[in-house]
Structure 1
C-alpha cells in the first residue's frame, strides 16, 4: 500500500477510537471500543480507572490491524486527542495511585492553599473574589491534598488523561500544550507553564516537578516504545505528534480556522467556539483555550451538561424509544426525532433553560435548570423538543457573547458531535440562529483535527491552510425555515434572554436554603 496514512487516537468520555486517515481526510479504517460507565463513589463524583483507557486503546488499535492486514506499514505517524480535565496521579514508578477524577466530577473542597493578603485583596477589589474561591475549591489537586494527603505525598506526576496515554505509548512524561485545559498552573496566553511568580502556583498546590514537559501542537513528542508497540501493534519508533484536546481538534476538524467561523459541538458538553490568533477572554478571567494550531486560541462558551441532557432525558423518560432503537439498530435520537416531528417550533409555549449544572460567571454558581410554560397539552415530546430548543438558545447567547468580545460577526456555522446526527437538532439550530448550519464530511471531526495537526507536523502538508483545504469537506447543509425563525426570534429575545436574570435571585435563595 503506497497511500500515506495517519493514525489518530481519540479517548473520549464514552469510547476510545482508533482512526486511520489518508491525506484527503477520508476515514480509511476505524475501530471503536465502548468504555464502561464511570464510577460514582458519592453523588456528584465521577471516577474511572486509567488502566481501562489504556486497555481500550490497545484493543482499538489491535482490532484495526486485525481487520485491515498489512495497513500498519502505511502509517507515517500517530497522534492523540483526549477528553479535557480528566486527571491521573502516578507514583515514581509510573503506577496509578487512585482512580482518575473525570471532568464530570463536581466535588469541591474548602481546604485550599493560602494565597496571601496581597493577592486576595487584589481579586476582591477586582470583583473576582468569588471566582478565585471557586477555582481553588474546584481544583482536583487541592481536593486530593486536603482529603487524601497520603496519595498526594506519593504523587510523582499529575497528568491529564492525554499525558497519561502519551506516557503509556512512549515511556516519556510529555504532553501537548494544546491539552492543558483545567485547574493547573498553566499560562493560557503564552501556552506554557506559568512563571514562578504567577498567582496560580499559590492558589493550586501543584509543584512544577509534578507536571510533564510540554510540546506545541505539531511537534513530535517521542517515538512509540517497543513495550507499547507489543501491546498496541503500532510499529515501534513511529513518531507520536502532539495534537490538542478533543474540543480544539473538533474545531479544526470542522474547518473552523477564523473568527467568522463558528464551531458548535453537541457533545456531552455543548460548546460554541471560534479560532483566534489573538488572546481574547470570552469572559473576564476565563481564558481562551489553546487551539489545535500552535499559537492559536479557541474562544469557547460551554453549556456544561449539554447534549448530556438528551442522554438524561432518554434514561429518565425514554424507555420505549430506547427499546425501539435497540430493536431497529438505531440511535435513540433518531427515534425521538420522529416523536417530535409533529410538535411545532416553540414547543407550544414550553421554555427550558439548560443550566443543569452551574457555571463560573454566566451562568453563575447559583444557577439551576428551569422549565416554564407547562400546560395540560404538553407531553414528553414537548419536553424533549424544549430541551433541544433550550440548548440552541443557550448556544446562540454564547455566539453573541463571543461576537461582542471579538468584535467579529460569525457568518458560518459548522455543527459536529453526537447531537449533529439528529435531524431535528440540526433544523432547530438553523432556525434559532437564523443561519444555515453544515455538518463536516465525517463524524470523526475530533480525530480528523488531530490528523490535520500531525500531517502538518510531519511535513506531509505544507501548512494548515493547505491541510484544511485538502482534508476537510462540508457534508450536508440545513437551511433555516423562515416561519420557524420568526417564532424563535420572538421567544429568544422576549423570553429566553430575560429568564436567567429574573430567576437568579430565586436560584440564590434556593442555594442558600439547601
Structure 2
C-alpha cells in the first residue's frame, strides 16, 4: 500500500499554498493562488475580503489535483496554517459581516472599554499602564465596536483567519490554541481562553460566547464537509487536524524543537524564535506565543516588516536587476545576491537600523528607521547590503535577549522565509551571529510544520520528537568567516547597539513636530 500523504494548506500574506507532504517531509506536489483582494480604504488600514481567502484556498487546491503525484486516495488528513492576527466577524450563519482586518493594519481607537480601579492601580504600580493602553487602542475588536456598532451587534463569532478557514472546511467554530496570536482574551501561559477575572475581559469589547472552541495542535477538529469537498476537491470525510500559526509552524518545520536551536524567519516580518517548555517573557509583560507543539512556547522577537524592507528596496531601487532577470531568464534573487556580494562586509561603514514601520512595541513606539555613515563611495549596492546586515544585527540583539531571559545559549541557527533563498543573506547572517546557519531541506517550512502536527494527530508518528526527527533535516550550511566575524563583532558592539539610545530623543522630536508616527 502506498505511503500516506498529508495536505497542508498555508495561507500567508501574499498567497495561499496547497502542499502535499510525505512522511519524510518531502513535497510531493504543490500549488498556489495569489491573494489579490487587499485594500486600504484609509491610510494605514489593511483589509482583505474574507471570502477571497476562501476562494484562493479553493483555487490552490483545485490546481493541486492537476499536478503529478497529487493522489487524493493517499491523503490521510488535512491541516491549516495561516498568517497571524487577522480578524473576521461572522454572523450566526457563518457569513462575514465586514472585510477581514489583517495583521498589517495600523488603525487605532481612543474609544476603549474602561478598566476597573483595582486593575488600573496594579498596572500603575507595575509601570505598565502605557503598555495596557496601547493594547486596548490597537485591538481591532475595540475599533469595530466603537466605529461599526451595527457590525458588532450582528457578530456571532470573532474568528482568526485560521478559525475562519477551519469553519469553512469542517463546519465547526473551532481553532487551534497554537494559532492564537492576536488582541484577544487569551491566557498565553495556560494556552486557553482567559479566566473570568482576567483583566483582558475589561480591556477588550468581547463576550465569551463570541469566541470559538480551542483545541491543542494535533487534535482533530472535524472532517471535510460535503460543500468544502465540492469547492476544493479535497475528499469528503478526511480528518481536519489543528495546526498552529504560520510562524509557529515554521519553527518546527525548520526542525527547531529545542531551546539551543534558533529559528530565524526572513519573511514579511523578520523574527527569531526558540521552542521551550518554560514560560519566558523575553520582553517583560509581553508573553511568549504558543508553539506548534502542545505545552510549549515560542520565545519570539520580531522586527516588524523586516524582510518587507528588501522588497521595498527592490521596488524603489532594484528596477535594473528586475529588468535584467526578465531578459536573462534568471531569478531576480541571484542578481540581488551579486549586488550584495559586490560590497565588503560592513558596507564600508554604512549602518542601518531596521525600524521602518512605526507602532512597534520593541524597542519603542517612537522608533523610526535610520541609515548612518554615508560617504561619496556608497552606492545602492551598499544600501542593499546594509539592509541585510541591519536586519541580522536586530535579530542578533533579539537572540541575546532570549538567552538572557531564558538562560539557554543558542548554538546553531536555521533560517526560513523568502530571505533564506539568498546565499548572501545566509552567509552574512552566519558571520554576524558567529554561528553555523542552515537552510531547512524544504523552503515551505510553515506547511511542513502543519503537516507534522497532522502526522502526530493521525498517529502516523508516536510523538512530536519522532515526527520532527523524521520529517525535517538541514540543507546547505553556512559557516562563519573569521575575518568577517571580527568586523561585524566590532560594528555590532561599538556602533549598532548604541544607535537606538543615541537616536531615540530625535525620533521623539520628529514625531512631536510632524505627528508621524502618532504617539499615545
TM-score higher than 0.5 here? yes
Alignment partners' CA distance in 1, 2:226 and 2:362: 48
Residue pairs, 1:19-418, within 5 angstroms: 19-36=19-36, 38-68=38-68, 71-358=71-358, 360-418=360-418
1:13 alignment counterpart: 13
Which runs of no fewer than 5 residues in structure 1 stay unpaired? none
TM-score (norm 2): 0.97
- Quick check: 2:28–2:70 contact (8 Å CA) kept in 1? no
Contact 2:261 2:414 in 1 (8 A): yes
Higher mean displacement: 40-49 or 287-296: 40-49
1:240-269 per-position Cα deviation (integer Å, ceiling 9, x unaligned): 000000000000001001110100000000
Q: Deviations over 1:406-452 (max 9, x none)?
A: 01100010011100001110011011001110000000111001111
Structure 1 residues 328 and 141 mapped into 2: Cα distance closer, same or farther (>3 Å)?
farther
Shift of 1:28: 0.7
1:91-115 per-position Cα deviation (integer Å, ceiling 9, x unaligned): 1221111111110111111110001
Is residue 345–residue 487 contact of structure 2 (8 Å, CA) maintained in 1?
Answer: yes
| Residues 113 and 205, structure 1, Cα contact 8 Å, conserved in 2 | yes
The answer (yes or no) to whether the contact 1:392–1:432 under 8 Å persists in 2 is yes
Distance 1:462 1:329, change over 3 A: farther
Between the aligned partners of 1:347 and 1:70, the Cα distance in structure 2 is 46
Q: Distance in 1 between matches of 2:332 and 2:37?
A: 18
Q: Is the 8 A contact 2:279 2:297 kept in 1?
A: yes
Q: Deviations over 1:444-502 (max 9, x none)?
A: 11100111111111000011111111110110001111111011000000000011111
Equivalent pair of 2:92/2:157 in contact (CA under 8 Å): yes
How many Å apart are 1:138 and its aligned residue? 0.3
Shift of 1:70: 6.8
- CA-based RMSD: 1.2
Q: TM-score, normalised by structure 1?
A: 0.98
Asked if the contact 1:163–1:175 (Cα under 8 Å) also holds between the matched residues in 2, the reply is: yes
Instruction: Note if contact 1:177-1:216 (Cα within 8 Å) is conserved in structure 2.
Output: yes
**Is contact 2:20-2:70 (8 Å) kept?**
no
Gaps of 5+ in 2: 516-520
Is 1:131–1:360's contact at 8 Å kept on the other side of the alignment?
no
C-alpha distance in 2 between matches for 1:206 and 1:311: 37
- Indicate if the aligned counterparts of 1:314 and 1:332 stay in contact, CA closer than 8 A: no
What does residue 484 of structure 2 align with?
484
Aligned length in residues: 514
Q: For the residues of structure 2 that align with 1:95 and 1:331, how far apart are their CA atoms?
A: 41
Could you tell me how far apart the structure 1 residues matched to 2:423 and 2:417 are?
Answer: 13
Q: Distance in 2 between matches of 1:69 and 1:309?
A: 37
CA contact (8 A) 1:416 1:445 kept: yes
Moved more, 331-340 or 58-67: 331-340
What's the CA shift string for 1:362-392, capped at 9, x where partnerless? 2111100011111111111111111000000
Taking a change above 3 Å as real, the CA distance of residues 495 and 252 of structure 1, as seen in their structure-2 partners, is same
SS in 2 for 1:172: coil
Shift of 1:358: 3.5
